[in-house]
């Protein structure tokens, strides 16, 4: 059995103080369950005796002046408390309560509790409750479970936090009528320990690069430095020597990024933007250093630099066309480079003499120019656009296309179509007067009109008189000459579109007849004769 009271442990080199006081309680056992109000609860070590009746009322129950903890009591239970090690809460570290039934039936199992409270603002270590003695009391089980030692049963609670309370629930039996009693004590010991940190910081560095970029793009390098060791890494610096053709914003190939201190387990991210002059693949290795000759190297991720190369060709649906008729100008845009052409624009310009008739899908504009936004044209891809034009005047109409895109040199192309006029000459013949009496005259009016869009040239007009008519005279823009029954005019050099020329032939009727006066016209453009007749009634 353990001895109650203050215990001191002293050994060379060990500064540990174990404090313990014991508290005892009794409960009444009966054969018939009668409540013996005269049963007393004793504090053996402190010399206090408290009756169950007065304890249950709370008038004389020990209370914590600093903490104020009192176990909750239900039914026929009473509480006894004792501060350890001094008996005074103001100078003690642990407050121990026993919550016991006032009486139990002999041989029946009953329950009671120990409440262990830390009165301090610090953690108490190695807290243990010892069963110092027991009389007419047999423990059947507890939670937590008690451990057996050579000194008896002990409940090892370990560390008890500031102001923390632990409860030990016990199941027991008392075999003999009379009294059942137990005495318990509580102890703890705290050790003052000093430790120093032994650190071994270690660095890793990961480098990530933009995998694919255009020549005119800005490339980003991202660095992540981690401290995978123990303790802080001091004065960490990231360094990278860029490959030929890459420079930072200040024009240098040297990257140096001070990081400072990286705590254990932490990572730091840094990045740098670089410009590129050239195409191909670029790679470099970055390093991270820290005090204590700590060094780490990254992998060498590759950045591939590409650029688009635009080209445009032009074709027309016809090499020549009549004025007013449509011609399609087709432009094929091709990206012959190894990089995409973003924001690809095609602009087709044509002169004011051209009239816009329409454009392929996506074309906007009209008079003078049409534009297409092709978006992104991938490497090796091509797109076709077209515009329909006509002209109201003779001559060549050219259309020029220019194409541009991000990071691409502009390209252009030009093609033209010769627009020609269409000569269309109208021949009309009328007589006045009609009918005519034999021996009288009538005049045939011959009108030649250019209804086309091209100049008519070499226009020749001739007439054939019936046998019942004789030639009297002729006039016109050119000289007329009669040979027998035929009248011919000298060629008219040119007749512009919309112009007319009039010829006059006067005859005399020589016989009664319903005659047909025949006129024939040819030109350089129409060598096949155009014929027209006029009926005249000649009477006697």
Same structural domain for residues 28 and 154?
Answer: yes
Largest CA distance in the chain: 181
Give me the mean pLDDT over the 33-56 stretch: 33
What are the strands, taking DSSP E only, across 119-266?
Answer: 124-135, 138-143, 147-149, 152-160, 165-173, 178-188, 203-209, 212-214, 219-227, 233-241, 246-248, 254-262
Give me the mean pLDDT over the 331-337 stretch: 97
Same structural domain for residues 180 and 256?
Answer: no
Going across the sheet that includes 212-214, the strands are 212-214, 302-306, 280-283
Domain membership of residue 194 (yes or no) is: no
Alpha carbon distance 519, 427 (integer Å): 9
Domain membership of residue 151 (yes or no) is: yes
Higher per-residue confidence, 290 vs 19: 290
Is pLDDT at 454 greater than 90 in this prediction? no
Is pLDDT at 7 greater than 50 in this prediction? no
Domain membership of residue 332 (yes or no) is: yes
Give me the mean pLDDT over the 382-406 stretch: 94
Domain membership of residue 37 (yes or no) is: yes
Give the Cβ contact number of residue 250 at 10 Å.
Answer: 6
Give me the mean pLDDT over the 366-391 stretch: 94
Give me the mean pLDDT over the 447-469 stretch: 94
Out of 9-23, 430-444, 481-495, 524-538, which region has the weakest mean confidence (pLDDT)? 9-23
Domain membership of residue 54 (yes or no) is: yes
Is pLDDT at 15 greater than 60 in this prediction? no
Out of 55-69, 87-101, 134-148, 419-433, which region has the weakest mean confidence (pLDDT)? 55-69
Domain with residue 489: its CATH number is 2.60.40.1530
User: Which of 140, 156, 188 is a domain's end point?
Assistant: 188
Same structural domain for residues 165 and 295?
Answer: no
Residue ranges making up the domain that contains 100: 19-188
**Core vs surface per residue 275-312: b (16+ CB within 10 A) or e:** bbeebeebebebbbbbeeebebebeebebbbbbbbbeb
Q: Could you tell me the pTM of the whole model?
A: 0.52
Give the per-residue pLDDT at 259.
97
Alpha carbon distance 308, 341 (integer Å): 5
Is pLDDT at 285 greater than 50 in this prediction? yes
Segment holding 55, helix H or strand E: helix 52-57
Same structural domain for residues 44 and 31?
Answer: yes
Is pLDDT at 421 greater than 90 in this prediction? no
Same structural domain for residues 465 and 317?
Answer: no
Contact 285, 386 (CB under 8 A): no
Domain membership of residue 2 (yes or no) is: no
Same structural domain for residues 430 and 516?
Answer: yes
Domain membership of residue 41 (yes or no) is: yes
Contact 185, 19 (CB under 8 A): no
Give the per-residue pLDDT at 26.
60
**CA end-to-end distance (rounded Å), the chain:** 178
Query: Band of the pLDDT at 367, cuts 50, 70, 90?
Result: confident
> How many domains does the chain divide into?
4
Out of 68-72, 328-332, 348-352, which region has the weakest mean confidence (pLDDT)? 68-72
Query: Counting runs of H as helices and runs of E as strands, what totals does the chain give?
Result: 1, 45
Q: How far from 509 is each of 2, 441, 514, 539, CA to CA, in Å?
A: 172, 6, 11, 9
Give the per-residue pLDDT at 103.
93
Average pLDDT, the chain: 87
Q: How far from 248 is each of 221, 280, 288, CA to CA, in Å?
A: 11, 18, 19
Is pLDDT at 233 greater than 70 in this prediction? yes
Same structural domain for residues 61 and 105?
Answer: yes
Closest CA relative to residue 23, chosen from 166, 133, 137: 133
Same structural domain for residues 429 and 413?
Answer: no
Give the per-residue pLDDT at 28.
61
Give the per-residue pLDDT at 394.
85
User: Which of 188, 213, 240 is a domain's end point?
Assistant: 188
Give the per-residue pLDDT at 98.
96
Is pLDDT at 388 greater than 50 in this prediction? yes
Same structural domain for residues 295 and 322?
Answer: no
Cis peptide leading into 118, omega within 30 of 0? no
For 499-525, write each residue's pLDDT tens digit: 999 999 999 999 999 999 999 999 999
Contact 118, 164 (CB under 8 A): yes
Same structural domain for residues 113 and 232?
Answer: no
Is pLDDT at 6 greater than 80 in this prediction? no
User: Which of 288, 306, 324 is a domain's end point?
Assistant: 306
Domain membership of residue 9 (yes or no) is: no
Same structural domain for residues 398 and 429?
Answer: no
Residue 12 DSSP code:
T
Same structural domain for residues 184 and 45?
Answer: yes
Q: Torsion over CA of 114, 120, 126 and 132, rounded to 10 degrees?
A: -40
Give the Cβ contact number of residue 162 at 10 Å.
Answer: 11
Sign of CA dihedral 228, 230, 231, 237: negative
Give the per-residue pLDDT at 67.
58
Domain with residue 130: its CATH number is 2.60.40.10
Give the per-residue pLDDT at 27.
64
């Amino acid at each position: 059995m353990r001895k109650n009271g203050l215990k001191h442990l002293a050994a060379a080199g060990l500064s540990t103080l174990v404090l313990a006081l014991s508290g005892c309680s009794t409960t009444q056992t009966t054969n018939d369950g009668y409540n013996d109000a005269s049963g007393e609860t004793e504090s053996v070590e402190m010399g206090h005796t408290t009756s169950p009746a007065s304890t249950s009322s709370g008038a004389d129950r020990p209370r914590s002046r600093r903490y104020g903890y009192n176990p909750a009591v239900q039914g026929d239970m009473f509480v006894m408390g004792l501060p350890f090690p001094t008996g005074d809460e103001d100078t003690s570290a642990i407050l121990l309560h026993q919550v016991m039934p006032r009486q139990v039936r002999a041989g029946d199992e009953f329950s009671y509790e120990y409440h262990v409270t830390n009165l301090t603002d610090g953690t108490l270590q190695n807290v243990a409750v010892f069963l110092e003695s027991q009389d007419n009391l047999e423990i059947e089980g507890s939670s937590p479970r008690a451990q057996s030692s050579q000194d008896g049963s002990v409940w090892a609670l370990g560390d008890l936090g500031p102001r923390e309370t632990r409860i030990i629930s016990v199941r027991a039996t008392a075999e003999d009528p009379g009294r059942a009693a137990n005495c318990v004590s509580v102890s703890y010991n705290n050790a003052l320990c000093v430790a120093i940190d032994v650190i071994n910081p270690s660095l890793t560095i990961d480098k990530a690069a933009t995998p694919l970029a255009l020549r005119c793009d800005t490339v980003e390098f991202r660095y992540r430095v981690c401290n995978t060791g123990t303790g802080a890494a001091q004065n960490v610096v990231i360094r990278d020597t860029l490959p030929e053709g890459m420079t930072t914003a200040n024009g240098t190939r040297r990257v140096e990024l001070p990081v400072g201190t990286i705590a254990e387990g932490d990572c730091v991210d840094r990045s740098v933007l670089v410009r590129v002059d050239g195409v191909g693949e670029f790679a470099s290795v970055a390093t991270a250093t820290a005090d204590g000759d700590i060094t780490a190297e990254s992998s060498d991720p590759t950045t591939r630099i590409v650029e688009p190369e635009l080209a445009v060709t032009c074709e027309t649906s016809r090499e020549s066309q009549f004025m007013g008729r449509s011609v399609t100008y087709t432009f094929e845009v091709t990206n012959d480079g190894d990089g995409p052409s973003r924001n690809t624009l095609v602009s087709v310009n044509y002169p004011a003499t051209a009239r816009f008739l329409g454009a392929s899908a996506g074309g906007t504009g009209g008079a003078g120019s049409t534009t297409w936004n092709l978006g992104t044209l991938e490497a090796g891809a091509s797109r076709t656009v077209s515009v329909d034009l006509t002209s109201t005047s003779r001559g060549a109409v050219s259309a020029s296309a220019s194409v541009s895109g991000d990071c691409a040199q502009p390209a252009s192309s030009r093609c033209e179509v010769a627009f020609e006029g269409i000569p269309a000459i109208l021949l009309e013949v009328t007589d006045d007067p009609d009918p005519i009496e034999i021996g009288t005259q009538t005049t045939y009016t011959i009108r030649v009109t250019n209804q086309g869009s091209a100049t008519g040239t070499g226009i020749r007009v001739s007439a054939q008189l019936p046998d019942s008519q004789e030639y009297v005279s002729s006039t016109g823009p050119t000289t007329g000459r009669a040979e027998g029954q035929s009248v011919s005019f000298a060629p008219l050099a040119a007749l512009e579109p919309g112009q007319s020329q009039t010829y006059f032939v006067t005859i005399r009727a020589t016989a009664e007849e319903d005659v047909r006066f025949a006129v024939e016209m040819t030109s350089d453009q129409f060598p096949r004769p155009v014929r027209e007749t006029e009926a005249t009634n000649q009477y006697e």
